[in-house]
Homo-oligomer: A and B are copies of this chain.
Amino acid sequence: MARGPDKQFDPEEVLREAMCLFWAKGYAATGLAELQSAMGIGRKSLYDTFGNKRQLFLKALQLYSETVASRVVTELGRKGSALGNVRRLLRKLQREHSQPQSTGCLLGVSMAQFRTADPEMAAVLRLHLSHVEEAYYGAFKRARAAGELGSTTNLRDLARLYMAIHQGLALIGRVQDVPAVPRSIVSAALAILESA
């Protein structure tokens, strides 16, 4: 048997480029021409490697989800004060979503575009949301054990609220160029924890 030449590109690397393009422009507004230009590969290679546009997007979505989710988990799982971790993470998000060219969250953008129409797509989105929720829930549970949170607050509800704030912040950061708004949102979100 014979073997041809190896791929001249790293699939994950070009996938990351595609992800960034989808992230900034959305699914429908991103054409194949732009994609192959940003990815730096020919169209045949694209289809041979990723199937089609929808599958490429799904893979990009999963890559994004893994990247973001693992980051949230890591940030919230650090040693030390669990509430301190939450505060640090939210302040970072605030800074990121205050930048004028902030593209928000690819997951959020995608939720807006597909809804439950595409089951496979919806599954990825739901899974990601639950990952974020669990990360916050774990942090809050640890905070309570450490006496950082009162015993009356419903931690599951609180975690879901933070997930919503997380997404809302990203969404608003996409359109709002005034840094004061994200700052307010995060400040108020953190103030909750002081009296909870």
Q: Which residues of A contact B (CB under 8 A)?
A: 24, 26-29, 100, 103-104, 108-116, 122, 125-126, 129, 153-154, 156-158, 160-161, 163-169, 171-172, 174-177, 181, 184-185, 187-189, 191-192, 195-196
CB of B174 within 8 A of CB of A163, answer no
Q: Report the copy number of this chain in the oligomer.
A: 2
Q: A26-B28, A109-B112, A112-B113 are in contact. Are A161 and B176 (CB under 8 A)?
A: no
Enumerate the 6 nearest inter-chain pairs by beta-carbon distance, A residue then B residue, closest first: A168-B168, A28-B28, A112-B112, A164-B168, A161-B188, A157-B188
Given contacts A111-B112, A112-B112, A165-B168, 11 further A-B contacts (CB under 8 A): A29-B113, A104-B111, A108-B171, A112-B174, A125-B175, A126-B175, A129-B175, A154-B187, A165-B165, A167-B168, A195-B196
